[in-house]
Each structure stands twice: as C-alpha cells, then as structure tokens.
Structure 1
Amino acid sequence: MATAGVAQLKASLSRYLARVKAGEELVVTERGRPVAKLVPIRDHEAGAGWARLSAMERRGEISLGSGRLPDEFWDLPRPNDPTGSVREALIEEREEGW
C-alpha cells in the first residue's frame, strides 16, 4: 500500500487520485503518522448513494436538481446564523448517522 504525506498529496493530488481510481489504496500521513486512507469507490458503492437519494425523492423528502446552478448563485449572500443553531443541527444529524 502506498503512502504519501499531506504536502506531497496536495502537490500531486491528480497523480495520486489516478492511482486510487486504478484500484490502489493510499495511506495519507501527517508528520509520519497515518491520518487517512484513500480507497477507490466501487461501482456498487457509488450506485448505492444514488439509489438512496432516489428513494428519498420518491418519498418527497428531497428534490433532486436537474442541472447546473447558474454562476450567479455563488454570489448570493449566505444566510445569517448568528447562534450557530443550523450548524449544530447538521452536526447532530451527522452524528446520529441518519
């Protein structure tokens, strides 16, 4: 299994991603200690995510987009959340693993 330091990975990300896409696993190190592992996503794993999203759309829980967002979208002002309640709710949901 290949290893790469964080700085090395940042400098050559495309090259490392190509290796991972080809099936290789990569351990990312920080100051010589392993901190992450990059592994290829198998087709069935990628498809499972879309299947889950499609099921959520059928139940009316979400609406999937139908195209690209216009460039102007990224210039819109962000909503204000001074108390951090939205962020806290998102973190809580992620921890629950819904």
Structure 2
Amino acid sequence: MKTASITEAKNNLSKLIDGLRSGPVLITDRGRPVARLDAAAFSAAAEQDARIADLERRGVLLPAREPLPHDFYTRPLPKLPEPGSLLRALLDEREENR
C-alpha cells in the first residue's frame, strides 16, 4: 500500500486521488498511520453518470435537449442510398465546381 504524509497528501491530493485506481493510500503523521484514502465504490449506472457529467463539463458532450421518443429503438431504419451513389454524388459535385 502506498503511503503519504499529511503534508504530501495536502499538497498532492489530486494526484493521490487519480492514483487510487492502483490501490488505497495510507496517510501518516510523523510515520504513524492516521487515515486511509480509498476509492469509493460506485454502481455501474453512477459511474456512467459521472463520466457523462465529466464529458459535459469539459465541453466534449452536449446534453440532450429533450428525451428520445419512446419508439426510437423500434422504428424502421431509414432507407440507405444505393452502394456507390454517395461517391457518384461527390464526384459529380466536384466536376460541377471545376
């Protein structure tokens, strides 16, 4: 188990918290154990919510404006274009712009 003095813990708390995946940290005061810093146990749903909140906070993910419709996953898929039609459309557009 990793150990850190109270001063080290105070000055490097973020680093210690980031390192909790590798195991708990024993906090000592003049060499005597006084506390243990350990990762909190989260449910899978709570962990997913925390990750989504972090992505939203960093601006990587935008929150949904409204919930998905109830039939979203059971709706028929949109009809896909014929194979090669996208490439043909891009090449045609390219020729038009010349």
What TM-score do the two structures reach when normalised by structure 1? 0.42
What TM-score do the two structures reach when normalised by structure 2? 0.42
Flag the structure with higher helix content.
1
Larger Rg: 2
